[in-house]
Amino acid sequence: MAADLVVIGLGHVGLPLSRAAVSAGLATVGYDVSGTVVSGLAAGSSHVGGVLDAEVAVMLDAGFHATTDPAVLDGAQTVVICVPTGLTPEGLPDLSAVEDAARAVAARLRPGMLIVLESTSYPGTTEDVVRPLLEHGSGLRAGEDFHLAYSPQRIDPGNETWTIRNTPKVVSGCSALCAKYAVAFYSRFVDHLVVARGTREAEMAKLLENTYRYVNMALVDEVALFCHETGIDIWDVLHCAASKPFGFAPFRPGPGVGGHCVPVDPRYLAARAESHGFAFHTLAAAHEVLGRMPNHVVDRVLALLTEVRGRPEGARALLLGITYKADVADVRETPAHPVAAGLLAAGAEVSYHDPYIAEFTVGGRSLPRAENLQEAMAQADVAILLQDHACYAREALGQARCALLDTRGKAVGSRVTLL
């Protein structure tokens, strides 16, 4: 029996999308090139934070299954591509996964199918990359024989308030009819849809959303650096500024930026702009500032260690929270990597505490994981609060016996040093 929906890529976007579709009663199948992912889901095990094992079990009971066999695409009414879009070693957009997915679909594309790209990419990806691959591989025409659309994902890991159902979703198509079919599909499990003028506008909107965060994070980080140099309390500055009910959106400084979207998406925008001979000076400046933050944290820690024990060599440094986001089990692009690397290079002994991450490797070296927070802080010379997990109580941090560098503005105490 043909599926209502095949989701290509069962990661942080594809699996939650599959869950939402199954909940809406769509006969859904997941297609992924990773045998480990597929076998894990078949066993009822979720590899994605925010999707529980129990929810995978419910999906399986409803008929969902995952496979590495592209034959599952045969006869599907709708195919949504949710594969990752990262960067090459040179820092350029890497669309290889999108291209591979498009080729797999093209080989089994049939008239009347709806193909939607959700992977984040630069404006023109749907029309200039995916569409030619689909048309050349199938002999069919988008907008005439099949429907092609773009709808950027807006999944926020760990956010229990805004879900796929109630988060407004941007939808676009290569033609008005394509957009109409995409609206009909997503309206089955999304409450509010926003129809863009075209796929390029929708693609650009996604990049703007994350670039907005990127630039504002850089701004508040640079303000924090200035405040440190001049003896101004950045946290009180932010408290006061955030009281303005209009014209100001609060952002908070930190040890650096992480995750798959915010550090990557602006690079897609910059690369596309460069290909058109346009320079995004704001992005370049933000990139420079954000790249400085992990080194700033390392410098602050080394200064603390010099103060408390005379030198950093042999000192015991404890990282608190190594994920890129609070209470989310995800270390993609986490600033904990460069912070740990900098401390190791200075001769410090580095360990970490994080309830969400069982193993953490830096430069091929596996860092020791502390199980008991209080014992670990009692044994450390310095602790560095990198991520504001709920388990790190303000009072406990403030009573730490070791020196504590707080990059999140959470702790208060005689041995606490703020970023």
Residues labelled as active-site residues:
261
Q: Provide CB contacts within 8 A for 310, sequence distance 6+.
A: none
Give the phi and the psi of residue 124 in degrees, each rounded to 5.
Answer: 110, -10
Burial of 129 (0-12, 13-18, 19+ CB in 10 A): middle
Bridge partners for 169 per DSSP: 193
Question: CA separation (Å) from 243 to 67, 133, 237, 240, 246?
Answer: 51, 51, 10, 5, 9
How many angstroms separate the CA atoms of 70 and 81, rounded? 13
Number of H helices, E strands in the chain: 14, 17
How many angstroms separate the CA atoms of 7 and 147, rounded? 16
How many angstroms separate the CA atoms of 175 and 76, rounded? 21
Counting Cα atoms < 13 Å in the Cβ hemisphere of 82 gives 23
Identify the helix (H) or strand (E) that includes residue 218. helix 199-230
Q: Provide CB contacts within 8 A for 321, sequence distance 6+.
A: 336, 353, 354, 385, 386, 387, 388, 389, 392
Identify the helix (H) or strand (E) that includes residue 78. strand 78-81
- Residue 100 structure tokens: 């591979």
Spatial contact of 265 and 120, defined as CB atoms under 8 Å apart: yes
How many angstroms separate the CA atoms of 336 and 409, rounded? 17
> For 146, which DSSP code?
B
